[in-house]
Amino acid sequence: MGKEIKITPTDQYIIDKVRMLRLEKEVSQKKLSEIISPSGDNSAVGKIESVSTTHKYTDHQLNLIANYFGCTVYDFYPANILNDTAQVKTRVTIPKGLGPTGIINALLEEGKFFSVPRTIRETTDYCNAYYSESRPVTDYTAILERAVEKGGLKKVELESGNVQYQQV
């Protein structure tokens, strides 16, 4: 494993907030990169979200993102001042606070969970485990069907009548 990259807690917070919003709104890294990168670098967001680079969002990029999502740049900053001590840059597969759509998008982006066929029950149980007691149990059927329509998942109907979903 390579050298650990360190960034400030505020930069980490901003990266996580933008990622959460991006996942909830079903915007890919590539699409958001096209919005923030005047040079046409369609991997800008991937570099920022990667734990192996020191890349972070600039104020200009945050303003472009805020305009795109219809919010303000202040929505990306923490409510309280964070410690200035550098920390190891992280990327959690499913950040706390994501809703059902964001969780499915995070799993699709990571590419591991749906690499094997999963039933609705397996997916629902796995995803609802992230909520614990913070929100009601969610049925993921409609979200999975949207992912099929968008081409991220394929739906396999089994002889038993059950359905499985697998990443394309």
Mean per-residue pLDDT pooled into runs of 10, the chain (168 residues): 87 96 95 90 94 96 97 96 93 87 94 95 88 73 94 92 92
- The answer to whether residue 93 sits within a structural domain is no
- Provide the pLDDT for residue 78: 95
Distance CA 77, CA 67 (A): 15
- Provide the pLDDT for residue 133: 62
- Provide the pLDDT for residue 41: 82
- Provide the pLDDT for residue 129: 84
- Provide the pLDDT for residue 134: 63
- Provide the pLDDT for residue 72: 96
C-beta separation of 135 from 147 below 8 A: no
Nearest to 68, CA basis, from 45, 43, 41, 35: 35
- Provide the pLDDT for residue 84: 85
- The answer to whether residue 134 sits within a structural domain is yes
Q: Which amino acid is at 85?
A: T
- For residue 116, give its domain range: 100-167
- Provide the pLDDT for residue 132: 65
- The answer to whether residue 95 sits within a structural domain is no
Using a 10 angstrom Cβ sphere, with 0-12 exposed, 13-18 middle and 19 or more buried, the burial of residue 117 is middle
Same structural domain, 83 and 106: no
Q: In what order do the strands lie in the sheet with 118-119?
A: 118-119, 163-167, 153-157
- The answer to whether residue 1 sits within a structural domain is no
pTM: predicted TM-score of the whole model, two decimal places:
0.88
